[in-house]
């Protein structure tokens, strides 16, 4: 069973003459452990797709299935609960809290969710170490580079053990070297730790780290590439 699948997913913003058809019938399935990149130019519908899969917005028609559960049939509270339990978000602008250090930032969502702080800090520390931030646990965001801040956000997303990581242009605010490092980290999170990732990016160099690249244009999937070279790498 796929972690995520969509069926004839469509999204229209507005109506009448000014309606924008952001997605026009997307059928996509992401298998456990897969690292999928959705790539396409600005305005092709990447963010909309990620928002619908993440339950941040509702489709005009079509379905989003998360581990067999139809998101579109759940009410808002149920969607919120499912999102907290099953999804980890990584955004372009790291969304870290400036007055909290790396460890506190990574632990906060779990603590707010009712986990005992000791356990939350333990899990946050483990993931921060895995993403290479072991020596930076007590640094605040302003004391970290952009790439390091994004690593904190990635550790935060992984620490609650979601079914899938949804990453929206995670390198969009980084220079090319930091971008490449973040892409390599996502690759490692997938191949070494078996996590499932959906990445959206306009950058082909970043998409190239995925197992599969889905090309989006004007709200439709127009092509798909499986990166065969992944078999047996690393
Ligand atoms: P991408 O992420 O690929 O840049 P988006 O999903 O953000 O594309 O946008 C797809 C299309 O939908 C664009 O034409 C965009 O202007 C439009 N759009 C996105 N969000 C909204 C919104 N909330 N209201 C109206 N139009 C929107
Ligand atoms: P991204 O860079 O990730 O594609 P955008 O800058 O396109 O994001 O959009 C940022 C936010 O503004 C999103 O929540 C999107 O839904 C909304 N948005 C995008 N285009 C429009 C639009 N034409 N009208 C209203 N809201 C929009």
Ligand number, closest to the Cα atom of 202: 1
Please tell me the distance between residue 151's alpha carbon and the centre of ligand 1 in angstroms.
27
Q: Which residue, by CA, sits nearest to atom 19 of ligand 2?
A: 43
Cα 218 from Cα 13, distance rounded (Å): 14
Q: How far is the CA of 196 from the centre of ligand 2 (A)?
A: 25
Q: Is 104 in the pocket of ligand 2 (CB under 6 A)?
A: no
Is residue 232 scored above 70 in pLDDT? no
Q: Which ligand is nearest to the CA of 41?
A: 1
Write out pLDDT tens, residues 149-202.
Answer: 999 999 999 999 999 999 999 999 999 999 999 999 999 999 999 999 999 999
Q: Whose CA is nearest to atom 1 of ligand 2?
A: 47
Measured in Å, residue 62 CA sits from the centre of ligand 1 at: 18
CA distance 54 to 88: 9
Is 44 close to ligand 1, i.e. is its CB under 6 Å away?
yes
Structure token digits, residue 56: 């941040």
Distance of alpha carbon 50 from alpha carbon 27, whole angstroms: 13
CB 168 near ligand 2, within 6 Å: yes
How many other β-carbons are positioned within 10 Å of the β-carbon of residue 154? 26
Query: Which atom of ligand 2 is the closest one to the Cα of 42?
Result: 4
Q: How far apart are CA 175 and CA 78, in angstroms?
A: 38
Q: How far apart (Å, rounded) are the C-alpha atoms in residues 179 and 197?
A: 16
ipTM value for the complex: 0.71
Handedness of CA 47, 52, 56, 61 (dihedral sign): positive
Tell me the ligand closest to 40's alpha carbon: 1
- List pLDDT tens digits, range 13-65: 999 999 999 999 999 999 999 999 999 999 999 999 999 999 999 999 999 99
Q: How confident is the model at residue 228 (pLDDT cuts 50, 70, 90)?
A: confident
121 neighbors 103 (Cβ within 8 angstroms) = yes
Taking the C-alpha atoms of residue 112 and residue 118, their distance in angstroms, rounded to an integer, is 13
Q: In this structure, are residues 157 and 182 in contact, taking their beta carbons and an 8 Å threshold? A: no
Instruction: Retrieve residue 21's tokens.
Output: 């058809």
Q: How far is CA 180 from CA 94, 175, 176, 183, 226, in A?
A: 16, 9, 6, 5, 20
């Amino acid at each position: 069973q796929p972690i995520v699948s969509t069926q004839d997913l469509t999204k229209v913003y507005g109506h009448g003459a000014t309606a924008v058809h952001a997605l026009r019938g997307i059928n996509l399935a992401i298998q456990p452990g897969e690292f999928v990149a959705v790539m396409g130019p600005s305005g092709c519908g990447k963010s909309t797709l990620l928002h619908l899969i993440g339950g941040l917005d509702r489709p005009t028609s079509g379905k989003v299935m998360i581990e067999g559960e139809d998101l579109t049939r759940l009410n808002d509270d149920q969607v919120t609960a499912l999102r907290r339990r099953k999804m980890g978000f990584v955004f372009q602008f790291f969304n870290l809290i400036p007055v909290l250090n790396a460890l506190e930032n990574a632990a906060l969502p779990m603590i707010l969710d009712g986990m005992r702080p000791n356990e939350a800090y333990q899990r946050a520390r483990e993931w921060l170490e895995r993403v290479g931030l072991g020596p930076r646990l007590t640094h605040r965001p302003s004391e970290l580079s952009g790439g390091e801040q994004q690593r904190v956000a990635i550790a935060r997303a992984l620490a609650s053990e979601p079914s899938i990581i949804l990453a929206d242009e995670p390198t969009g605010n980084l220079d090319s070297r930091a971008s490449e490092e973040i892409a390599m980290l996502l690759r490692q999170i997938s191949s070494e730790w078996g996590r499932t990732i959906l990445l959206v990016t306009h950058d082909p160099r970043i998409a190239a780290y995925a197992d599969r690249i889905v090309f989006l244009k004007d709200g439709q999937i127009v092509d798909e590439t499986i990166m065969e070279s992944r078999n047996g790498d690393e």
